[in-house]
Chain A
Amino acid sequence: MKTEMICAGFGGQGALTIGKFLVKAGMNEGKNVSWLPSYGPEMRGGTANVSTVISDKPVGSPVVAHPDIVIALNQPSIDKFAPMLKAGGLLIYNEDMCPKGTDRTDIKVVSAPMTTIAKEIGNLKVMNMVAIGMVMGNTELVKKETMLNSIAPLQKKAPELYDMNLEAIDKGYELGKK
């Protein structure tokens, strides 16, 4: 079993962090993983994105051309990466910043107003945790329990955000199940 994913958004929205936490949880479940960020000039003003692989076998190419999952935090990310999704793949997107959504009908689409949810919880920074929750709610990529263990160090690092992170994951998880 190999799952390839691309997470993308404006720089600062936390797209790279979504990939990092999912991959870390995958690693803690004993899977082989890779996390490959874009680091070129396109990061300035355009989309920041990361390609991740979580696999039972050693990871060959860390470059993802046909993702199983795309997480898009803004419209340019959908425009760029949704066309690359495998047929039957999963698109998770942020309704607040993706007014057009996607034209594709051969994929599964799960969306939520992630920005609004994060603001309601109390901090825009936890938006990426909503997205992480949605992935876990909708797929079996990583277990929620492993994720909670993986983010436990955040309790010390950013205690003021920790409870909000947990709430964001829970909210996302429920939304993802739908």
Chain B
Amino acid sequence: MAEKVLMKGNEAVAEAAIRAGCRLYFAYPITPQSELIEYMARMMPKAGGVFVQAESEIAAINMVYGASGCGRRAMTSSSSPGIALKQEGISYLAGANLPAVIVNVQRGGPGLGDIQPAQGDYFQATRGGGNGDYYTMALAPSTVQEFADMASLAFDLADKYRNPVVILADGLLGQMMEPVEFLPAKTEAELKELDNQHLDWCCCPNEDEPNHHHHEINSLEIDPVVLEQHVLRLGEKYDKITANEQRWEDYNINADNEILVVAFGTASRICKSAIDELNDAGHNIGLVRPITVWPYPYDAVYKAVGDKVKKVIVFELNLGQMVQDVKIAVNGKVPVDFMGKVGGILFSTDEVKAKIAENLEEAK
């Protein structure tokens, strides 16, 4: 067992990314994400990698495009307004079938908003975010440990599907410290192997290949017949991801649940505390926590709506963006209710308890 260290989420995900083989990182500072870029500035050169503080968020994502096109594990990070700026580049990455990892340490929006934790970028992360028919996988951590673990997972998924992957965290997870255990760092041989798996498409010359195959990295296809085939192939990829990569956590899900709660990330932690207190007092509340918010675990949410569940309540730090997905999942079986906080304000455990308790009363 590796030793546990106490670290901020921002630093933990940076360390984990380096260990996972990221050797190219480009970003522009923004609160509440800045410890991530600071950590990379300090540690990436020591790992023999490249760190560039770009002139803007847009420059950074396009540097990722170039680095990824050369077949290397590349990453950028930012917070909400900065991620909005990156959407053009993310769409290009998706169009060009390029793997990349993008960390979003969300803060209050819209616009410049504030610097406190929020979950207002749910639509942006789960519905593409830029132009055209595409999806990015979106992983939503709820602890610093999970945030760190997702760096490695995100790179593996990005490589597996040649698709950008977003880690959708928030200011609370970025700023807080919790104990973390890291996976061992990839060895030189493992890094070489990672690079080699990109050789059949990337722009890096492959010395072993007889004719140094010409590879093209591009998201422009002016012939509609050709573009049609390209987008249909992207669609097949998204179907495959949807079939294979749904992840979620069931928390106290059982046949006697009276109410089902659905929440992700930071909001789910507050819900867990509230649910523990209610269940200790003799109630039976369950929680489904989507870990991938795209692809969304629709079946898991549907299956968790047991026969005794009177209502599903969604808790989010936004105006109810995930409610749409929960309603698709629940498919009219029971009513879906919602409680949210916006502007970087968190709900308290007491407020979540009160909301659930109010529904327990109604259900009687």
Binding site for B on A (CB under 8 A): 20, 23-24, 27, 32-37, 39-40, 59-63, 65
Contact = CB atoms under 8 A, between A and B. Distances in A.
Contacts of A61: 269-270, 272-274, 348-349
A36 B276 CA distance: 21
B115 A20 contact: no
The 8 closest A-B pairs by CB, nearest first: A60-B273, A60-B272, A35-B177, A61-B273, A61-B270, A36-B176, A27-B179, A65-B348
Given A34-B178, A37-B175, A39-B115, A62 B269 contact: yes
B31 A60 contact: no
Contacts of A20: 6, 177
A24 B6 CA distance: 7
A4 B215 CA distance: 57
Contact of B172 (A27, A32, A36, A65): A36
A109 B348 CA distance: 26
Contact of A23 (B6, B272, B276): B6
Interface of B: 4, 6, 31-32, 114-116, 171-172, 175-179, 269-270, 272-274, 276, 346, 348-350
B354 to A, nearest CB: 13
A68 B175 CA distance: 23
A33 B178 contact: yes
A20 B4 CA distance: 15
A56 B85 CA distance: 42
Contact of A63 (B4, B178, B270): B270
B43 to A, nearest CB: 18
A61 B178 CA distance: 12
A20 to B, nearest CB: 7
Given A27-B4, A35-B6, A63 B348 contact: yes
A62 B349 contact: no
B86 to A, nearest CB: 23
Contacts, number: 60
Given A36-B175, A37-B176, A39-B31, A60 B116 contact: no
Contacts of A27: 4, 6, 179
A102 to B, nearest CB: 23
Nearest to A34: B178
Contacts of A59: 178, 269
Contacts of B114: 40
Interface centre among B115, B172, B179, B348 (most CB of A within 10 A): B179
B116 to A, nearest CB: 6
Contacts of B273: 60-61
Nearest to A32: B179
B147 to A, nearest CB: 13
Contacts of B175: 36-37, 39
A34 B177 contact: yes
A31 to B, nearest CB: 9
A27 B145 CA distance: 14
Interface centre among A32, A61, A63 (most CB of B within 10 A): A61
Contacts of B272: 60-61
A62 B115 contact: no
A109 to B, nearest CB: 25
Given A24-B6, A40-B116, A65-B348, A35 B269 contact: no
A120 to B, nearest CB: 31
Nearest to B179: A27
A39 B348 contact: no
A60 to B, nearest CB: 3
Contacts of B269: 59-62
Given A33-B178, A60-B272, A61-B273, 10 more contacts: A23-B6, A34-B177, A34-B178, A35-B176, A37-B176, A39-B175, A40-B116, A61-B348, A62-B172, A62-B176
Nearest to B351: A65
B7 to A, nearest CB: 10
Contacts of A65: 348-350
A95 to B, nearest CB: 30
Contact of B178 (A35, A39, A40, A60): A35
Contact of B270 (A33, A37, A60): A60
A4 to B, nearest CB: 10
Nearest to B7: A35
A52 to B, nearest CB: 9
B115 A40 contact: yes
7 contacts: A20-B6, A23-B177, A27-B4, A33-B6, A36-B175, A60-B349, A62-B172
B281 to A, nearest CB: 15
A136 B30 CA distance: 38
Interface centre among B4, B114, B270, B273 (most CB of A within 10 A): B273
